[in-house]
Structure 1
Amino acid sequence: MEWHFGPDTGSPFWLSRARTFDFDPRKDVSTVDDLRLFPNIVDELRDVQVTDLIPRGYPPEAGQPVIGESGGTTGPPKRVIWMPETQERATDWHAAGLAEHGPIRAGGWLCMGPTDPHMAGTLIRDTASRFGTVCFLLDLDPRWVKRCIARGALEEVNLYVEHVVDQAEWILRSQEIAVLYSTPPLLEALCRRDGLVNLINERTQIIGWGGTKMDTATRNRFQNEIFPGAKLVGGYASTMIIGGMVERADAAADAPAVFDPPAPFTIFSVVDSETGKAVPYGERGQVLQHHISRGMFLPNNLERDTAVRVPHRTSEVSDAIADVHPVEEFSGKPVIEGVY
């Protein structure tokens, strides 16, 4: 609180916003529960000048931030910043989570996900570098797919998906790919392309999935019936989380994927969307998250996902989440997942 609301270190955005509060963050916020005092400001991130998000405490040599944008599911995209230290920490956490699933053999990585201004490709590429390998990225615009779905242009969606699969096939057939990151819809599309299932089973060690939901039955079908030669590993991330996490490595094969956020930097609570109170462990609620780091402060943000509340492996202040699903409507607009 001292960093983000001190006049010499706080960002112009938060210093200005603090003047509208009926509390003093530096005096009145000392626990995780106190973070609920803050308003949910994520919609303001659609219009704020991103330079106003940079804390004044960073010296010029700290470097410039990477600017991440949301997928525009509920309107104009929201923007956040990843300062270099934030990006470093997010990559460390993601790499450590993946390493829990066992040694990864040599070979390139392929990310069938959106690249800039979305952060998925950046995170996967940086994680690949932690393992000393290269990462191939594709041209993928999830916003265009969502627009096509919204206006019922399903043939255009199919053509665009084929375009994405073409790009992946060129890489899969010409390069040694040990790790393939994709989304459930794009995995389905890969399965429809002649010869790719066998190729992936023969060459790929890990299939990382995320971006859209995958229920346990679908996951088991992919793992046991379609890609028995590779290991499926789930991921959970969003622009507003400012990072991503890998599912627990010790979960039962037939159980939903469980995700532990990197507390205390990212803290999850699973709450009743009507009352805001935590639901009991084992019950479903909406995901409320706080991000607290020097690079970005984003408290009291109700995510557009529901999940089952699970005890965190290491944190007493954060929940873990399992069996994640998007809400049907968010901010008064229907949620369209598309291919990401």
Structure 2
Amino acid sequence: MSDQLEQLCSDARKALDEQAVRIVQLHFDPELGAPYWLEKAKELDFNPLTDVKCFDDLNKFPLFEDDALRGGPVQRFLPKKWHGDHKYTFETGGTTGVPKSRCVVRDHFIDYEEFSKTLSDEDFPPGSNWLMLGPSGPRRLRLAVEHLCQVRGGICFCVDLDPRWVVKLLKKGDVEGAKAYADHVIDQAYTVLTAGHDIKCMFSTPKLLEALAMRLLDEGTSIAEIGIKGIFAGGTEFTPQWYRFCKEELLGPDVFITPTYGNTLMGLACGKPFDPADDYKITYYAPQPRAAIQVVDFDDYSKVVDYGATGRVKLTTLTEELFIPGFMERDEGEREKPHPKYPWDGISGTRPFHVFAKKTTVGVY
């Protein structure tokens, strides 16, 4: 590690330590804190207000049980500081049982404002209109992408897409029904792109982007010819193999695509800038200090694995609107070294946690 990168890493760690302390102080504040954490504090064997002095002190908390995010009142994780503001509710999952949910004021806007700073004006021209080719309904992605578009000076066009219905069809073995629904979504995207809206940027999941590219090819055109300059995509199907296929076969040299990895709790992790020397390996970096991910040992979630080793993803969310320590994600991957643009640990090879993998239905993602 160069001296410059080592200093960047030191500065980033200091910022993470300061963020951890500041966020814990807010969420456990007797007057302004979050109802859930104020109640939970009674069960803890330490005092978060005095005993959390750095990020590592968050290990004092037990691992977070995600069932706590199911059901209401949805605002119990939101500090009382924000209870008088306009609020949004976003859900994740929900194909079976009560979905996990999150109450938000501005976090989704802030996450994508920060992400916007990582996008080049050459690939994502300011003032350009966008197509949001992803899930709608109670997911934050739809509003977040629209805000990203607006921050960059454009108008966002959206499709109607219910991923829960696709998953239900696939679980029933109705492959034809799922394909028909995917065709319905692509029909909407094709209509928007050919309606004279001058769309130059878009979000898509890998499966839908591939389906759109095939549809355009059938119509005698392509992603590039229809006017798209920049794409950001996300989903577990974004593999190195698909990345190469996408760049070489679907997009060509004139369309830029950047991988992303995120969810309702973490926000948006950015991909390491493309480097041919990486042979299309995709490395993601969490949006520190607002969220941090650690790749931890499968048998000991308190132990971070060595660089290059495989482990499960452990997420910590640290924003003024949400504090989640030690959330075990349903993903695994390899721990990667810091990068000058993102001077903290990254993760590559993200895929469903092997214990759950056989039970995971991917759907349109």
TM-score w.r.t. structure 2 length? 0.85
Aligned to 1:303: 329
What is the Cα deviation at residue 23 of structure 1?
2.0
What is the Cα deviation at residue 11 of structure 1?
1.2
In structure 2, how many angstroms separate the alpha carbons of the residues matched to 1:13 and 1:226?
A: 47
Aligned to 1:142: 163
1:230 paired to 2:230: no
- Is 1:97–1:247's contact at 8 Å kept on the other side of the alignment? no
Q: Secondary structure at the match of 1:193?
A: helix
What is the Cα deviation at residue 114 of structure 1?
0.9
What is the Cα deviation at residue 268 of structure 1?
0.9
Give the stretch that moved more between structures: 105-114 or 140-149.
Answer: 105-114
- Percent of aligned pairs with the same amino acid: 30
TM-score w.r.t. structure 1 length? 0.90
Q: Secondary structure at the match of 2:223?
A: helix
1:201 paired to 2:227: no
Aligned to 1:288: 314
**Equivalent position amino acid for 2:293 in 1:** F
Aligned to 1:325: 351
Q: Give 1:159-170 correspondences, 5 Å limit.
A: 159-170=180-191
Q: Using a 3 Å threshold, how does the CA distance of structure 1 residues 99 and 73 change in structure 2: closer, same or farther?
A: farther
- Is 2:95–2:168's contact at 8 Å kept on the other side of the alignment? no
**Equivalent position amino acid for 1:193 in 2:** R
**Equivalent position amino acid for 1:48 in 2:** G
What is the Cα deviation at residue 236 of structure 1?
1.0
- Is 2:123–2:230's contact at 8 Å kept on the other side of the alignment? no
In structure 2, how many angstroms separate the alpha carbons of the residues matched to 1:101 and 1:336?
A: 37
Give the stretch that moved more between structures: 183-192 or 72-81.
Answer: 72-81
Q: Using a 3 Å threshold, how does the CA distance of structure 1 residues 279 and 220 change in structure 2: closer, same or farther?
A: same
- Is 1:191–1:197's contact at 8 Å kept on the other side of the alignment? no
Q: Give 1:67-216 correspondences, 5 Å limit.
A: 67-72=89-94, 75-84=97-106, 86-99=107-120, 102=123, 104=125, 106-174=127-195, 175-195=197-217, 198-202=221-225, 203-216=227-240
1:247 paired to 2:268: no
In structure 2, how many angstroms separate the alpha carbons of the residues matched to 1:297 and 1:197?
A: 50
Say which of 22, 35, 49 aligns to 2:45.
22
Give the stretch that moved more between structures: 130-139 or 198-207.
Answer: 198-207
- Is 1:91–1:127's contact at 8 Å kept on the other side of the alignment? yes
- Is 1:113–1:140's contact at 8 Å kept on the other side of the alignment? yes
Q: Secondary structure at the match of 2:349?
A: strand
- Is 1:306–1:324's contact at 8 Å kept on the other side of the alignment? yes
Q: Number of residues paired by the alignment?
A: 335
Unaligned runs of 5+ in 2: 1-23
What is the Cα deviation at residue 256 of structure 1?
1.7
In structure 2, how many angstroms separate the alpha carbons of the residues matched to 1:328 and 1:64?
A: 40
In structure 1, how many angstroms separate the alpha carbons of the residues matched to 2:270 and 2:89?
A: 22
- Is 2:244–2:280's contact at 8 Å kept on the other side of the alignment? no
**Equivalent position amino acid for 2:31 in 1:** D
Q: Secondary structure at the match of 1:97?
A: coil
Give the stretch that moved more between structures: 221-230 or 23-32.
Answer: 23-32
What is the Cα deviation at residue 80 of structure 1?
1.1
Q: Secondary structure at the match of 2:146?
A: helix
In structure 1, how many angstroms separate the alpha carbons of the residues matched to 2:79 and 2:304?
A: 32
Aligned to 1:338: 363
Aligned to 2:8: none
Q: Deviations over 1:294-313 (max 9, x none)?
A: 11111100111112211233
Q: Using a 3 Å threshold, how does the CA distance of structure 1 residues 76 and 211 change in structure 2: closer, same or farther?
A: farther
Give the stretch that moved more between structures: 103-112 or 225-234.
Answer: 103-112
Q: Using a 3 Å threshold, how does the CA distance of structure 1 residues 197 and 99 change in structure 2: closer, same or farther?
A: farther
What is the Cα deviation at residue 250 of structure 1?
4.8
Q: Deviations over 1:182-225 (max 9, x none)?
A: 11111222233253683312111112211232211211111012
- Is 1:190–1:197's contact at 8 Å kept on the other side of the alignment? no
Pairwise CA RMSD of aligned residues?
A: 2.4
Q: Using a 3 Å threshold, how does the CA distance of structure 1 residues 197 and 144 change in structure 2: closer, same or farther?
A: farther
Show structure 1 runs of 4+ deviating over 6 A.
Answer: 314-317
Aligned to 1:54: 78
Aligned to 1:41: 65
**Equivalent position amino acid for 2:321 in 1:** G
